[in-house]
Structure 1
Protein backbone atom coordinates (compact mmCIF):
# COMPACT_ATOMS: atom_id res chain seq x y z
CA UNK A 1 0.00 0.00 0.00
CA UNK A 2 2.77 2.42 0.88
CA UNK A 3 4.59 1.72 -2.39
CA UNK A 4 1.42 2.20 -4.43
CA UNK A 5 0.66 5.44 -2.60
CA UNK A 6 4.18 6.73 -3.18
CA UNK A 7 3.99 5.83 -6.86
CA UNK A 8 0.69 7.67 -7.21
CA UNK A 9 2.11 10.76 -5.54
CA UNK A 10 5.17 10.63 -7.81
CA UNK A 11 2.95 10.43 -10.89
CA UNK A 12 0.89 13.39 -9.71
CA UNK A 13 4.02 15.47 -9.08
CA UNK A 14 5.45 14.55 -12.48
CA UNK A 15 2.20 15.57 -14.19
CA UNK A 16 2.17 18.88 -12.33
CA UNK A 17 5.76 19.63 -13.33
CA UNK A 18 5.05 18.85 -16.97
CA UNK A 19 1.95 21.06 -16.93
CA UNK A 20 3.96 23.87 -15.36
CA UNK A 21 6.66 23.63 -18.04
CA UNK A 22 4.03 23.71 -20.75
CA UNK A 23 2.41 26.80 -19.24
CA UNK A 24 5.77 28.56 -18.96
CA UNK A 25 6.54 27.75 -22.60
CA UNK A 26 3.18 29.20 -23.67
CA UNK A 27 3.84 32.39 -21.69
CA UNK A 28 7.29 32.78 -23.21
CA UNK A 29 5.94 32.21 -26.70
CA UNK A 30 3.41 34.98 -26.21
CA UNK A 31 5.75 37.52 -24.60
CA UNK A 32 7.13 40.60 -26.34
CA UNK A 33 10.34 42.44 -25.57
CA UNK A 34 10.64 45.09 -28.28
CA UNK A 35 8.98 46.80 -31.19
CA UNK A 36 8.95 43.73 -33.46
CA UNK A 37 6.62 40.91 -32.44
CA UNK A 38 5.60 37.77 -34.32
CA UNK A 39 1.95 37.25 -35.18
CA UNK A 40 0.27 33.89 -34.53
CA UNK A 41 1.99 31.26 -36.66
CA UNK A 42 -0.37 31.45 -39.62
CA UNK A 43 1.02 30.13 -42.87
CA UNK A 44 1.27 32.85 -45.51
CA UNK A 45 2.21 31.66 -49.03
CA UNK A 46 5.60 32.88 -50.29
CA UNK A 47 5.28 36.21 -52.08
CA UNK A 48 1.93 37.07 -50.49
CA UNK A 49 1.46 40.32 -48.58
CA UNK A 50 0.00 40.33 -45.07
CA UNK A 51 -3.72 41.04 -44.88
CA UNK A 52 -3.93 44.37 -43.01
CA UNK A 53 -7.45 43.77 -41.70
CA UNK A 54 -6.53 41.44 -38.79
CA UNK A 55 -3.39 43.40 -37.86
CA UNK A 56 -3.17 43.78 -34.08
CA UNK A 57 -3.66 47.18 -32.50
CA UNK A 58 -0.34 48.95 -31.94
CA UNK A 59 0.83 48.12 -28.43
CA UNK A 60 4.11 48.78 -26.68
CA UNK A 61 6.32 46.91 -24.29
CA UNK A 62 5.47 48.22 -20.78
CA UNK A 63 9.01 49.53 -20.25
CA UNK A 64 8.94 51.42 -23.55
CA UNK A 65 5.46 52.79 -22.81
CA UNK A 66 6.71 54.10 -19.45
CA UNK A 67 9.69 55.77 -21.12
CA UNK A 68 7.43 57.50 -23.63
CA UNK A 69 5.03 58.74 -20.93
CA UNK A 70 7.91 60.23 -18.96
CA UNK A 71 9.44 61.80 -22.08
CA UNK A 72 6.17 63.44 -23.12
CA UNK A 73 5.51 64.71 -19.60
CA UNK A 74 8.97 66.28 -19.53
CA UNK A 75 8.42 67.91 -22.94
CA UNK A 76 5.03 69.31 -21.89
CA UNK A 77 6.74 70.98 -18.93
CA UNK A 78 9.25 72.82 -21.14
CA UNK A 79 8.84 76.56 -21.71
CA UNK A 80 7.43 77.64 -25.10
CA UNK A 81 5.86 74.22 -25.79
CA UNK A 82 2.24 74.70 -26.87
CA UNK A 83 0.99 71.23 -27.83
CA UNK A 84 2.25 67.65 -27.64
CA UNK A 85 0.60 64.74 -29.45
CA UNK A 86 1.28 61.04 -29.82
CA UNK A 87 0.14 58.39 -32.30
CA UNK A 88 1.07 54.74 -32.73
CA UNK A 89 1.24 52.63 -35.85
CA UNK A 90 2.04 49.08 -36.90
CA UNK A 91 3.91 48.15 -40.07
CA UNK A 92 3.98 44.47 -40.99
CA UNK A 93 6.67 42.48 -42.76
CA UNK A 94 7.19 38.79 -43.54
CA UNK A 95 10.06 36.37 -43.09
CA UNK A 96 10.54 32.66 -43.95
CA UNK A 97 9.26 30.12 -41.45
CA UNK A 98 12.35 28.11 -40.41
CA UNK A 99 10.17 25.04 -39.83
CA UNK A 100 7.95 25.23 -42.93
CA UNK A 101 9.66 26.14 -46.20
CA UNK A 102 6.33 26.77 -47.91
CA UNK A 103 5.30 29.41 -45.35
CA UNK A 104 6.04 33.00 -44.42
CA UNK A 105 5.46 34.40 -40.95
CA UNK A 106 4.20 37.91 -40.27
CA UNK A 107 6.12 40.27 -38.00
CA UNK A 108 4.66 43.45 -36.49
CA UNK A 109 6.76 46.61 -36.13
CA UNK A 110 5.14 49.02 -33.69
CA UNK A 111 6.24 52.65 -33.62
CA UNK A 112 5.30 55.94 -32.01
CA UNK A 113 5.17 59.35 -33.69
CA UNK A 114 5.34 62.41 -31.47
CA UNK A 115 4.20 65.82 -32.74
CA UNK A 116 5.15 69.00 -30.93
CA UNK A 117 4.21 72.59 -31.67
CA UNK A 118 6.16 75.32 -29.93
CA UNK A 119 5.37 79.01 -29.67
CA UNK A 120 6.13 81.15 -32.74
CA UNK A 121 8.35 83.20 -30.41
CA UNK A 122 10.33 80.17 -29.18
CA UNK A 123 14.08 80.70 -29.10
CA UNK A 124 16.42 78.16 -30.72
CA UNK A 125 17.42 77.01 -27.23
CA UNK A 126 13.78 76.39 -26.30
CA UNK A 127 13.05 74.53 -29.53
CA UNK A 128 16.28 72.56 -29.26
CA UNK A 129 15.38 71.45 -25.74
CA UNK A 130 12.50 69.33 -27.09
CA UNK A 131 14.49 66.54 -28.83
CA UNK A 132 17.26 66.70 -26.23
CA UNK A 133 14.75 66.23 -23.41
CA UNK A 134 13.05 63.34 -25.19
CA UNK A 135 16.39 61.61 -25.69
CA UNK A 136 17.10 61.73 -21.95
CA UNK A 137 14.09 59.52 -21.28
CA UNK A 138 14.10 57.19 -24.30
CA UNK A 139 16.24 54.30 -25.49
CA UNK A 140 14.24 53.11 -28.49
CA UNK A 141 14.51 53.69 -32.24
CA UNK A 142 10.75 53.24 -32.64
CA UNK A 143 10.06 56.88 -31.74
CA UNK A 144 10.11 59.77 -34.22
CA UNK A 145 9.50 63.47 -33.58
CA UNK A 146 7.96 66.14 -35.81
CA UNK A 147 8.28 69.64 -34.37
CA UNK A 148 6.71 72.78 -35.81
CA UNK A 149 7.54 76.40 -35.16
CA UNK A 150 4.52 78.30 -36.52
CA UNK A 151 4.93 81.47 -38.55
CA UNK A 152 5.47 84.59 -36.48
CA UNK A 153 6.69 88.15 -36.82
CA UNK A 154 9.60 88.17 -39.26
CA UNK A 155 9.67 84.46 -40.09
CA UNK A 156 7.70 81.73 -41.87
CA UNK A 157 6.82 78.40 -40.28
CA UNK A 158 9.46 75.69 -40.05
CA UNK A 159 9.23 71.95 -39.44
CA UNK A 160 11.90 69.48 -38.38
CA UNK A 161 11.65 65.69 -38.26
CA UNK A 162 13.88 63.59 -36.01
CA UNK A 163 13.52 60.12 -37.52
CA UNK A 164 14.08 57.25 -35.06
CA UNK A 165 16.95 59.08 -33.37
CA UNK A 166 16.01 58.37 -29.76
CA UNK A 167 18.27 55.45 -28.86
CA UNK A 168 21.11 57.89 -28.14
CA UNK A 169 21.77 61.14 -26.35
CA UNK A 170 21.12 64.32 -28.34
CA UNK A 171 23.38 67.12 -27.09
CA UNK A 172 21.54 70.38 -26.52
CA UNK A 173 24.25 72.11 -28.53
CA UNK A 174 23.41 69.96 -31.56
CA UNK A 175 19.63 70.35 -31.39
CA UNK A 176 19.96 74.08 -30.69
CA UNK A 177 22.18 74.40 -33.76
CA UNK A 178 19.48 72.72 -35.85
CA UNK A 179 16.77 75.01 -34.45
CA UNK A 180 18.93 78.09 -34.91
CA UNK A 181 19.62 77.19 -38.54
CA UNK A 182 15.92 76.70 -39.26
CA UNK A 183 15.05 80.00 -37.60
CA UNK A 184 17.66 81.89 -39.61
CA UNK A 185 16.51 80.34 -42.88
CA UNK A 186 12.84 80.93 -42.02
CA UNK A 187 13.65 84.59 -41.38
CA UNK A 188 15.37 85.09 -44.74
CA UNK A 189 13.64 87.32 -47.28
CA UNK A 190 12.01 85.34 -50.09
CA UNK A 191 11.73 82.06 -48.17
CA UNK A 192 8.15 80.75 -48.02
CA UNK A 193 8.63 77.39 -46.27
CA UNK A 194 11.34 75.38 -44.51
CA UNK A 195 11.38 71.69 -43.60
CA UNK A 196 14.29 69.56 -42.43
CA UNK A 197 14.77 65.86 -41.74
CA UNK A 198 17.40 64.59 -39.31
CA UNK A 199 18.38 60.91 -39.84
CA UNK A 200 18.70 58.32 -37.08
CA UNK A 201 22.49 58.78 -37.13
CA UNK A 202 22.02 62.43 -36.03
CA UNK A 203 24.37 63.40 -38.87
CA UNK A 204 22.67 66.58 -40.06
CA UNK A 205 24.65 66.59 -43.29
CA UNK A 206 23.11 63.22 -44.20
CA UNK A 207 19.58 64.52 -43.73
CA UNK A 208 17.60 66.74 -46.05
CA UNK A 209 16.52 70.37 -46.19
CA UNK A 210 13.56 71.52 -48.26
CA UNK A 211 13.32 75.26 -48.85
CA UNK A 212 10.84 76.99 -51.14
CA UNK A 213 11.60 80.49 -52.35
CA UNK A 214 9.49 83.11 -54.10
CA UNK A 215 10.64 84.56 -56.41
CA UNK A 216 12.94 81.66 -57.26
CA UNK A 217 15.35 83.80 -59.26
CA UNK A 218 19.10 83.38 -59.09
CA UNK A 219 19.61 86.43 -56.89
CA UNK A 220 17.15 85.24 -54.23
CA UNK A 221 18.42 81.66 -54.37
CA UNK A 222 22.00 82.88 -53.98
CA UNK A 223 21.01 84.97 -50.95
CA UNK A 224 19.29 81.98 -49.32
CA UNK A 225 22.25 79.73 -50.07
CA UNK A 226 24.50 82.24 -48.37
CA UNK A 227 22.39 82.04 -45.21
CA UNK A 228 22.33 78.23 -45.30
CA UNK A 229 26.13 78.17 -45.55
CA UNK A 230 26.32 79.74 -42.10
CA UNK A 231 24.08 77.16 -40.41
CA UNK A 232 24.20 73.52 -39.32
CA UNK A 233 22.75 72.68 -42.75
CA UNK A 234 25.77 73.91 -44.71
CA UNK A 235 26.48 70.41 -46.09
CA UNK A 236 22.92 69.07 -46.15
CA UNK A 237 21.28 68.04 -49.41
CA UNK A 238 18.81 70.69 -50.63
CA UNK A 239 15.36 70.23 -52.12
CA UNK A 240 12.45 72.47 -53.00
CA UNK A 241 13.20 75.57 -55.06
CA UNK A 242 16.76 74.35 -55.45
CA UNK A 243 17.59 71.51 -57.80
CA UNK A 244 16.84 68.27 -55.97
CA UNK A 245 20.02 66.82 -54.56
CA UNK A 246 21.85 70.14 -54.73
CA UNK A 247 24.45 71.01 -52.17
CA UNK A 248 24.66 74.58 -50.86
Structure 2
Protein backbone atom coordinates (compact mmCIF):
# COMPACT_ATOMS: atom_id res chain seq x y z
CA UNK A 1 0.00 0.00 0.00
CA UNK A 2 1.52 3.33 -1.06
CA UNK A 3 0.85 5.38 2.03
CA UNK A 4 2.95 6.70 4.87
CA UNK A 5 2.34 5.57 8.42
CA UNK A 6 3.98 7.61 11.17
CA UNK A 7 3.55 6.31 14.73
CA UNK A 8 5.47 8.52 17.20
CA UNK A 9 5.93 6.71 20.48
CA UNK A 10 4.87 9.74 22.54
CA UNK A 11 1.56 10.27 20.73
CA UNK A 12 -1.68 8.25 21.03
CA UNK A 13 -2.69 9.13 17.45
CA UNK A 14 -1.60 7.23 14.36
CA UNK A 15 -0.85 9.27 11.27
CA UNK A 16 -1.74 7.88 7.82
CA UNK A 17 -0.81 9.85 4.73
CA UNK A 18 -2.37 8.96 1.38
CA UNK A 19 -3.50 10.75 -1.78
CA UNK A 20 -5.97 10.44 -4.62
CA UNK A 21 -3.17 9.76 -7.08
CA UNK A 22 -1.98 6.80 -4.97
CA UNK A 23 -5.27 5.04 -5.86
CA UNK A 24 -5.60 3.49 -2.41
CA UNK A 25 -7.95 5.74 -0.46
CA UNK A 26 -10.53 2.94 -0.32
CA UNK A 27 -7.96 0.51 1.07
CA UNK A 28 -6.86 3.06 3.67
CA UNK A 29 -10.47 3.42 4.80
CA UNK A 30 -10.85 -0.35 4.99
CA UNK A 31 -7.64 -0.67 6.99
CA UNK A 32 -8.77 2.00 9.43
CA UNK A 33 -12.09 0.27 10.04
CA UNK A 34 -10.37 -3.11 10.46
CA UNK A 35 -7.92 -1.61 12.98
CA UNK A 36 -10.52 -1.19 15.70
CA UNK A 37 -9.22 2.28 16.56
CA UNK A 38 -11.65 5.09 17.33
CA UNK A 39 -11.74 7.77 14.67
CA UNK A 40 -10.08 10.26 17.02
CA UNK A 41 -7.09 7.95 17.43
CA UNK A 42 -6.11 8.12 13.76
CA UNK A 43 -5.04 11.25 11.88
CA UNK A 44 -5.84 10.82 8.18
CA UNK A 45 -4.39 12.95 5.41
CA UNK A 46 -5.13 12.84 1.70
CA UNK A 47 -4.33 15.09 -1.26
CA UNK A 48 -5.79 16.43 -4.49
CA UNK A 49 -3.60 16.16 -7.60
CA UNK A 50 -3.22 19.02 -10.11
CA UNK A 51 -5.31 17.25 -12.77
CA UNK A 52 -8.35 17.75 -10.52
CA UNK A 53 -7.66 21.37 -9.57
CA UNK A 54 -10.40 23.97 -9.86
CA UNK A 55 -13.19 25.06 -7.52
CA UNK A 56 -16.05 22.76 -8.53
CA UNK A 57 -13.78 19.83 -9.33
CA UNK A 58 -12.17 20.14 -5.89
CA UNK A 59 -15.55 20.04 -4.16
CA UNK A 60 -16.29 16.85 -6.10
CA UNK A 61 -12.84 15.43 -5.34
CA UNK A 62 -13.28 15.92 -1.59
CA UNK A 63 -16.63 14.14 -1.69
CA UNK A 64 -15.07 11.35 -3.74
CA UNK A 65 -12.25 10.92 -1.20
CA UNK A 66 -14.70 10.74 1.68
CA UNK A 67 -16.84 8.27 -0.25
CA UNK A 68 -13.91 5.99 -1.06
CA UNK A 69 -12.71 6.03 2.54
CA UNK A 70 -16.25 5.87 3.92
CA UNK A 71 -15.53 8.72 6.32
CA UNK A 72 -17.38 11.83 7.40
CA UNK A 73 -14.23 13.92 7.40
CA UNK A 74 -10.47 13.84 6.93
CA UNK A 75 -8.10 15.51 9.35
CA UNK A 76 -5.93 17.18 6.72
CA UNK A 77 -6.44 17.73 3.01
CA UNK A 78 -3.48 18.89 0.94
CA UNK A 79 -3.05 20.34 -2.52
CA UNK A 80 -0.62 17.71 -3.78
CA UNK A 81 1.33 19.98 -6.11
CA UNK A 82 1.36 23.45 -7.63
CA UNK A 83 1.43 22.34 -11.28
CA UNK A 84 -1.92 23.79 -12.39
CA UNK A 85 -1.15 27.52 -12.52
CA UNK A 86 -2.10 30.39 -10.22
CA UNK A 87 -5.81 30.64 -11.03
CA UNK A 88 -6.58 26.95 -10.55
CA UNK A 89 -4.33 26.67 -7.50
CA UNK A 90 -6.18 29.47 -5.75
CA UNK A 91 -9.59 28.14 -6.77
CA UNK A 92 -8.61 24.75 -5.35
CA UNK A 93 -7.41 26.30 -2.12
CA UNK A 94 -10.63 28.29 -1.73
CA UNK A 95 -12.70 25.14 -2.30
CA UNK A 96 -10.74 23.27 0.38
CA UNK A 97 -11.29 26.12 2.84
CA UNK A 98 -15.01 25.98 2.08
CA UNK A 99 -15.01 22.20 2.61
CA UNK A 100 -13.32 22.77 5.94
CA UNK A 101 -16.00 25.28 6.93
CA UNK A 102 -18.62 22.64 6.06
CA UNK A 103 -16.95 20.09 8.36
CA UNK A 104 -15.61 17.78 5.66
CA UNK A 105 -11.98 18.68 6.39
CA UNK A 106 -10.41 19.62 9.70
CA UNK A 107 -7.37 21.44 8.27
CA UNK A 108 -6.10 22.57 4.85
CA UNK A 109 -2.50 22.36 3.70
CA UNK A 110 -0.29 22.13 0.63
CA UNK A 111 2.50 19.95 -0.69
CA UNK A 112 5.44 20.72 -2.96
CA UNK A 113 4.77 24.46 -2.59
CA UNK A 114 7.61 26.91 -3.02
CA UNK A 115 7.76 30.42 -1.60
CA UNK A 116 6.04 31.99 -4.63
CA UNK A 117 3.11 29.58 -4.34
CA UNK A 118 2.70 30.37 -0.65
CA UNK A 119 3.01 34.07 -1.34
CA UNK A 120 0.15 33.99 -3.84
CA UNK A 121 -2.10 32.54 -1.13
CA UNK A 122 -1.16 35.38 1.18
CA UNK A 123 -1.64 38.02 -1.53
CA UNK A 124 -5.08 36.60 -2.34
CA UNK A 125 -6.08 37.32 1.27
CA UNK A 126 -6.56 33.71 2.33
CA UNK A 127 -5.31 32.31 5.59
CA UNK A 128 -2.07 30.44 5.26
CA UNK A 129 -2.01 26.62 5.06
CA UNK A 130 -1.31 24.75 8.28
CA UNK A 131 1.18 22.41 6.57
CA UNK A 132 3.56 22.33 3.63
CA UNK A 133 4.69 18.78 2.83
CA UNK A 134 7.96 18.80 0.87
CA UNK A 135 10.91 16.54 0.11
CA UNK A 136 13.35 16.98 2.98
CA UNK A 137 16.44 15.05 4.03
CA UNK A 138 20.13 15.90 4.53
CA UNK A 139 20.87 15.93 0.77
CA UNK A 140 17.85 18.13 -0.09
CA UNK A 141 17.11 20.66 2.65
CA UNK A 142 15.06 23.28 0.74
CA UNK A 143 16.18 25.99 3.16
CA UNK A 144 14.40 28.93 1.52
CA UNK A 145 10.93 27.43 1.74
CA UNK A 146 11.61 25.96 5.20
CA UNK A 147 12.56 29.42 6.47
CA UNK A 148 9.45 30.94 4.88
CA UNK A 149 7.21 28.30 6.47
CA UNK A 150 8.70 28.89 9.89
CA UNK A 151 8.31 32.64 9.55
CA UNK A 152 4.64 32.15 8.65
CA UNK A 153 3.74 29.47 11.22
CA UNK A 154 3.38 26.71 8.59
CA UNK A 155 4.34 23.26 9.84
CA UNK A 156 6.85 21.45 7.65
CA UNK A 157 6.28 17.78 6.88
CA UNK A 158 9.20 15.91 5.34
CA UNK A 159 8.54 13.28 2.71
CA UNK A 160 11.30 10.91 1.58
CA UNK A 161 13.01 11.56 4.95
CA UNK A 162 14.94 8.29 4.73
CA UNK A 163 15.89 8.95 1.10
CA UNK A 164 14.18 5.81 -0.17
CA UNK A 165 16.79 3.79 1.63
CA UNK A 166 19.70 5.34 -0.27
CA UNK A 167 21.66 5.91 2.91
CA UNK A 168 25.16 4.89 1.91
CA UNK A 169 26.74 8.34 2.21
CA UNK A 170 29.94 7.95 4.28
CA UNK A 171 29.00 10.73 6.72
CA UNK A 172 25.61 9.15 7.46
CA UNK A 173 27.24 5.74 7.94
CA UNK A 174 29.94 7.17 10.22
CA UNK A 175 27.40 8.92 12.42
CA UNK A 176 25.22 5.79 12.54
CA UNK A 177 28.21 3.78 13.73
CA UNK A 178 29.06 6.43 16.33
CA UNK A 179 25.57 6.28 17.87
CA UNK A 180 25.06 2.54 17.29
CA UNK A 181 21.90 3.30 15.31
CA UNK A 182 20.91 2.41 11.79
CA UNK A 183 21.28 5.09 9.08
CA UNK A 184 17.52 5.59 8.75
CA UNK A 185 17.25 6.39 12.45
CA UNK A 186 20.04 8.95 12.09
CA UNK A 187 18.39 10.90 9.28
CA UNK A 188 14.98 10.70 10.98
CA UNK A 189 16.52 12.05 14.19
CA UNK A 190 18.12 14.86 12.16
CA UNK A 191 14.67 15.68 10.77
CA UNK A 192 13.08 15.76 14.23
CA UNK A 193 15.83 17.98 15.64
CA UNK A 194 15.43 20.36 12.71
CA UNK A 195 11.77 20.74 13.68
CA UNK A 196 10.25 18.79 10.78
CA UNK A 197 7.63 16.05 10.90
CA UNK A 198 9.20 13.18 8.93
CA UNK A 199 6.89 10.78 7.09
CA UNK A 200 8.82 7.56 6.45
CA UNK A 201 7.13 4.83 4.45
CA UNK A 202 7.60 1.08 4.69
CA UNK A 203 5.62 -2.10 4.13
CA UNK A 204 7.70 -4.03 6.67
CA UNK A 205 6.61 -4.06 10.30
CA UNK A 206 10.17 -4.24 11.58
CA UNK A 207 11.12 -1.12 9.62
CA UNK A 208 8.02 0.78 10.74
CA UNK A 209 8.87 -0.09 14.34
CA UNK A 210 12.55 0.79 13.93
CA UNK A 211 11.71 4.13 12.34
CA UNK A 212 9.79 5.11 15.47
CA UNK A 213 12.69 4.29 17.81
CA UNK A 214 14.40 7.67 17.54
CA UNK A 215 13.51 9.32 20.83
CA UNK A 216 16.09 7.67 23.06
CA UNK A 217 19.07 9.61 21.71
CA UNK A 218 20.02 13.05 20.43
CA UNK A 219 22.51 14.07 17.78
CA UNK A 220 25.10 16.52 19.07
CA UNK A 221 25.74 19.85 17.36
CA UNK A 222 28.85 18.63 15.57
CA UNK A 223 26.99 15.76 13.95
CA UNK A 224 23.98 17.93 13.12
CA UNK A 225 26.38 20.34 11.41
CA UNK A 226 27.97 17.47 9.49
CA UNK A 227 24.57 16.37 8.20
CA UNK A 228 23.60 19.97 7.40
CA UNK A 229 26.73 20.25 5.27
CA UNK A 230 25.49 17.45 2.97
CA UNK A 231 22.85 19.71 1.41
CA UNK A 232 22.94 19.74 -2.40
CA UNK A 233 19.82 21.81 -2.90
CA UNK A 234 17.44 20.70 -5.64
CA UNK A 235 20.25 18.56 -7.07
CA UNK A 236 19.93 16.35 -4.01
CA UNK A 237 16.32 15.44 -4.78
CA UNK A 238 15.52 11.76 -5.09
CA UNK A 239 11.82 12.26 -5.77
CA UNK A 240 9.48 14.33 -7.94
CA UNK A 241 9.91 17.62 -6.00
CA UNK A 242 8.14 20.07 -8.37
CA UNK A 243 8.61 22.91 -5.91
CA UNK A 244 9.76 25.47 -8.50
CA UNK A 245 6.98 25.10 -11.11
CA UNK A 246 5.25 28.23 -12.38
Q: TM-score, normalised by structure 1?
A: 0.26
Q: TM-score, normalised by structure 2?
A: 0.26
Which is greater in Rg? 1
> RCO greater where, 1 or 2, for CA within 8 Å and sep 6 or more?
2
Q: Which has the higher helix share?
A: 2
